[in-house]
Amino acid sequence: MSVIGALIGLALVVVLNALVIYIVGRMNMGLTVDSFSAAAIAAIVIGIVSWAFQWLFGFLGFTFISNPNLIGAIVALIIAAVVLMISDRFVKGMKVSGFGGAIVAAAAIGVVHWLIGWLIGLIF
């Protein structure tokens, strides 16, 4: 893959994730976002924080996150909520309403992301 192709792919992922964050922010489900640009910045920060968590857990040898069972899903949801709460500290224009709000927002982000992926799959 060329560098240009990788950059275009990365930009599309950021825009898609920003769209998901913006939609969930408008649904008042524990997360509020002031604008689409704040959602785009949040998507980048959430991606960086998520990568750091995955790297740290991989370095420490924790593999339960990738298990496709109920415990793995619960742990992934909790980690996503913590990532949202950490990202809240760095993104002006994004606010998470406590840990409960972060759990609800993380679940909503997962559902909206799945729905958009499903719709894209229907089109292509």
| Model pLDDT, residue 16 | 92
**Cα 9–chain centre separation:** 17
- φ and ψ at residue 31, rounded to 5 degrees: -140, 130
| Model pLDDT, residue 101 | 94
Based on the number of CB atoms within 10 Å of its own CB, is 96 exposed (0-12), middle (13-18) or buried (19 or more)? buried
Q: Coil, helix or strand for 31? A: strand
> Domain residue spans in the chain?
3-123
Q: What is the pLDDT of residues 53-99, one digit of tens each?
A: 888 888 887 766 666 778 778 888 898 999 999 999 999 999 999 99
pTM, two decimals, is: 0.84
Q: What is the pLDDT of residues 1-17, one digit of tens each?
A: 689 988 998 899 999 99
